[in-house]
Amino acid sequence: MSTKLLARVALLGLAAMAALTSVAAPATAVPNLTRTSATSVADSTQTKEALAQCPAGTRVLGGGGTINGGGGNVHFIRLQALGSTDRFAAAAMEDGNYPGSWSVTAWAICGQQPAGLTYVSFVSPDNPDEHKDAAVECPDGTVAISHGVRVVGSTGHVVIGGFGPLAPTGTKANATEDQHGEPADWDLWAHAVCASSLPGQQLVWADDIPADSNPDIVTVNCPTGKRVHGLGSTINQSFGEVFHVALVPNAALTAVTATAIEDSSGAAFNWWTRVYAICAF
C-alpha cells in the first residue's frame, strides 16, 4: 500500500473516531445552567419575601428557599418561578406573633431558554376550607421541569404540606390549616415550569423513612453526569403541624436537600419527607 493511501486510511479512521465520540457525548439540556440567590432583611416583620434574579440572557427554570431562624414559628407561603421577570420568589410567614428576627433566602435555577418553555398555574377556590389541593397540567407536547406552590390570603395559619410531580406532565400541591385554624378565606396555587422533554430528563427522589417525629434532612442526588433543573418536596402526614424550612439545590446543581420540622408546639404523630429532583444532561 502506498504512503498516500496509508495516510488517507489513517485520516478516515480518525474522522470515524471523532464522529463516534460526538455521538456518544450527551447533549447539554440547558446551557449556562447556574444557581443564584437573594436574602431578605432579618427582623421580626411577620411576612418576608426574597427574589433571586437570573443572569442576563437566562430564564428561571426552578428554585427553592431557606428560612433562616424562626424557631419553628415561620413557614413558607410561596416558592415560585416568575417567568415574567426571570426571578424565583421565596416567601415565608410567621404563624402568629413571633418576636425574634428571621429572614428568608430564595434560590433560583437559571439557564438558557429550552424549547417549549412556558409557565402555567392553577388556583383553588378562595374559601375557608381547612384543607386544599391544587393541580396543573403542562400544555400538550411539554412536560414539567420544575414545580412551585403559593398560599394567598392566610393570616399565618395555613401550612404547605408539599408540592411535586403530577405524573411527568404537571404539578400537584396541598396545604392545610394548622391546629389554631385560619379565620380568613384563602386559596392555594400550583405552579409548573414546562418545556419539551430535556435530554436524559429523569425524576429522582429520596425518602426519610421510617416515619418518626424527628426533624428531617433528606438529600436526593442526580445520576452521574446529570444536573438539577427543578425540584419539589412533600411531607407525608403533615396535618398543618409540620413544614419545610429549607429546600435547596446545591451549588453544583447535582443534588437537592429538604429540611422539615414540627412547629414550636410539636406534633403528636409520626411523619416523613420525600424530596424530588428533576435531572437532565
Q: Is 214 part of a structural domain of the chain?
A: yes
Instruction: Reply yes or no on whether the pLDDT at 8 is more than 60.
Output: no
Q: Is 15 part of a structural domain of the chain?
A: no
Residue-wise pLDDT for 216-265, tens only, equals 999 999 999 999 999 999 999 999 999 999 999 999 999 999 999 999 99
Q: How many domains does the chain have?
A: 1
Q: Is 18 part of a structural domain of the chain?
A: no
User: Phi, psi at residue 22, to the nearest 5°?
Assistant: -65, -40
Report the CATH number that the domain containing residue 254 is assigned in CATH. Answer: 2.60.120.690
Q: What is the mean predicted confidence (pLDDT) over 25-46?
A: 88
**What's the pTM value of the predicted model, to 2 decimals?**
0.90
Q: Is 14 part of a structural domain of the chain?
A: no
- Beta strands of 112-201 (E only): which ranges? 118-123, 131-137, 143-152, 158-166, 170-177, 187-195
Q: Is 150 part of a structural domain of the chain?
A: yes
What span, in angstroms and rounded, lies between the C-alpha atoms of 5 and 227? 46
What span, in angstroms and rounded, lies between the C-alpha atoms of 76 and 231? 15
Q: Is 139 part of a structural domain of the chain?
A: yes
Residue-wise pLDDT for 177-196, tens only, equals 999 999 999 999 999 999 99
If you ran DSSP here, which 8-state letter would residue 239 be given? T
Q: Is 20 part of a structural domain of the chain?
A: no
Q: Is residue 9 very low, low, confident or very high in pLDDT (cuts 50, 70, 90)?
A: very low
Q: Is 10 part of a structural domain of the chain?
A: no
Question: What's the domain range around 36?
Answer: 29-280
Residue-wise pLDDT for 80-128, tens only, equals 999 999 999 999 999 988 999 999 999 999 999 999 999 999 999 999 9
